[in-house]
């Protein structure tokens, strides 16, 4: 008996299955970076990490606040008097001052147009834990949620790996800037019903990851009407709510339902401080539900992924500092806008367009003109060149379950200015080289357009399925691809 077969007998199905979602090009790019990480002086030819949506542009403001407020930490001389109380066991409801501060912060991020009830704040280990918790509360194994595509690749892990919930992609297209349409929702919903799949709800990410766009009030109202008519849930992932860097302003689902006659028991919000504050390592995730039973259930489940009391204590003080929060939010938006402008204008000078966006920590980059043909295989061939030759970890659109080949997400807020410039230089060199090849071909009057065919090596790779490039990339085997097809 082989080792694999033996393990399948000895271990659980979760331990031995391949449904986590880590085996995708999205995570393969991270592995390429881990194997050869760029460093300005120690490894200047390494892979630049542009696949990680982190907000590292305002760490100086955080550091300054911590230095000025040593009593906010129980691990300083000034704050050690509170050590015993905070280090002891804490109720999984969370520290009252923490829940109050988070509720206040969530309202401020949303322009003060809506207030949040601290008693509906449920803690979780980051947005990952929050997303899974809400799935456990709302659905049984085999049930399904509609998710507009392109969507966050790790939803495979967050929403379905341990819960057994299905994801049904709702195709959005570039022809209308990937906006969600009721027609597309109805088509996906009806096909699921015809296949005897119970649809329990709709999940949206607003602002969008990977698009960097926001949903307007009218669209959100139409989504609320859609779920109310079918008596299904609406889960709104709003973890990028404070990354808006130019108008129009962000509209939360909480603001929308204030003015509607809707069943609020169907409305739930997932939030986190990972993107808005740049604290992914703190693992602060939030479930906020208007359904009392969901709040009660999620709170019981939160004991499996609590935020440490030390983190709660520190953040309660930080988020309660109104002056600091105001300055931080303003400066964060200003710096994001500046970085976005530098990066997108740099790309535009090279003839590379991005989807028009006003939020997030990334751009949705259009490389369709560089494809040999409009297929996933051609996209993967281009992606391998960008990873292996240009040495940039950008994420292919197919890993976000985009219906159109040639789109790539590229993150710009997780690095310093010098690294951004080096990344742009590498892209410029790559594009210039390809333009030179095109010019040479035209001079020889060759019918082949080398702008769409980088090298014989890529042709060979393109003939193979994407998973051939890496033992960790069985993209064709993804259950979500099968569902989409």
Catalytically annotated residues: 152, 237, 239, 275
Instruction: Measure CA 71 to chain center.
Output: 34
Specify the DSSP element, H or E, that contains 87: helix 83-87
What span, in angstroms and rounded, lies between the C-alpha atoms of 65 and 59? 10
What span, in angstroms and rounded, lies between the C-alpha atoms of 127 and 381? 32
Q: Residue 291 is encoded by which pair of tokens? A: 């359904």
Nearest to 364 by CA among 107, 79, 149, 60: 149
What span, in angstroms and rounded, lies between the C-alpha atoms of 152 and 207? 12
Rounded to 10 degrees, the C-alpha dihedral 201/202/206/209 comes to 120
Q: Which residues lie below 8 Å from residue 42, measured CB to CB, with a gap of 6+? A: none
Strand ranges (E), 160-276: 166-171, 199-205, 233-237, 267-272
**C-alpha distances out from residue 307 to 109, 183, 273, 302, 312, Å:** 21, 40, 12, 9, 7
């Amino acid at each position: 008996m082989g080792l694999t077969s033996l393990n399948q007998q000895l271990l659980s199905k979760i331990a031995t299955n391949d449904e986590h979602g880590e085996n995708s090009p999205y995570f393969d790019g991270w592995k390429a970076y881990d194997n050869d990480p760029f460093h300005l002086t120690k490894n200047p030819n390494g892979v630049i990490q542009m696949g990680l949506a982190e907000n590292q542009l305002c760490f100086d403001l955080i550091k300054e606040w911590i230095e000025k407020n040593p009593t906010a930490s129980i691990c300083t001389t000034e704050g050690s008097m509170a050590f015993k109380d905070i280090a002891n066991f804490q109720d999984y409801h969370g520290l009252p001052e923490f829940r109050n501060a988070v509720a206040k912060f969530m309202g401020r991020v949303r322009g003060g147009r809506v207030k949040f009830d601290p008693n509906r704040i449920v803690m979780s280990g980051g947005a990952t834990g929050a997303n899974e918790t809400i799935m456990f509360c709302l659905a049984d194994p085999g049930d399904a949620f509609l998710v507009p595509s392109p969507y966050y690749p790790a939803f495979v892990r967050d929403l379905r790996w341990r819960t057994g919930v299905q994801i049904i992609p709702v195709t959005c297209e570039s022809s209308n800037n990937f906006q969600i349409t009721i027609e597309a929702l109805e088509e996906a919903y009806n096909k699921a019903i015809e296949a005897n799949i119970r649809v329990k709800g709709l999940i949206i990410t607003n602002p969008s990851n990977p698009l960097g766009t926001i949903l307007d009030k009218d669209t959100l109202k139409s989504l609320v009407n859609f779920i109310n008519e079918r008596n299904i849930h609406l889960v709104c992932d709003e973890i990028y709510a404070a990354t808006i860097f130019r108008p129009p302003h962000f509209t939360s689902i909480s603001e929308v339902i204030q003015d509607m006659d809707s069943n609020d028991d169907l409305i739930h919000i997932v939030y986190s401080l990972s993107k808005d504050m740049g604290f992914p390592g703190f693992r602060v995730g939030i479930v906020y539900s208007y359904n009392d039973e969901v709040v009660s259930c999620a709170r019981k489940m939160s004991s499996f992924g609590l935020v440490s009391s030390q983190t709660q204590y520190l953040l309660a003080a930080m988020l309660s500092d109104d002056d600091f929060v105001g300055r931080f939010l303003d400066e964060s938006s200003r710096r994001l806008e500046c970085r976005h402008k530098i990066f997108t204008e740099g790309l535009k000078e090279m003839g590379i367009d991005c989807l028009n966006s006003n939020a997030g920590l990334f751009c949705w980059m259009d490389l369709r003109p560089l494809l040999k043909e409009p297929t996933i295989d051609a996209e993967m061939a281009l992606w391998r060149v960008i990873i292996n030759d240009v040495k940039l970890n950008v994420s292919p659109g197919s890993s976000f379950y985009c219906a159109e080949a040639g789109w790539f997400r590229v993150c710009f807020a997780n690095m310093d200015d010098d690294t951004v410039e080096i990344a742009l230089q590498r892209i410029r060199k790559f594009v210039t080289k390809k333009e030179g090849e095109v010019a040479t071909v035209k001079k020889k009057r060759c019918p082949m357009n080398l702008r769409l065919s980088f090298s014989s090596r890529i042709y060979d790779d393109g003939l193979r399925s994407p998973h051939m490039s890496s033992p960790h990339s069985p993209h064709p085997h993804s259950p979500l691809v099968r569902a989409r097809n």
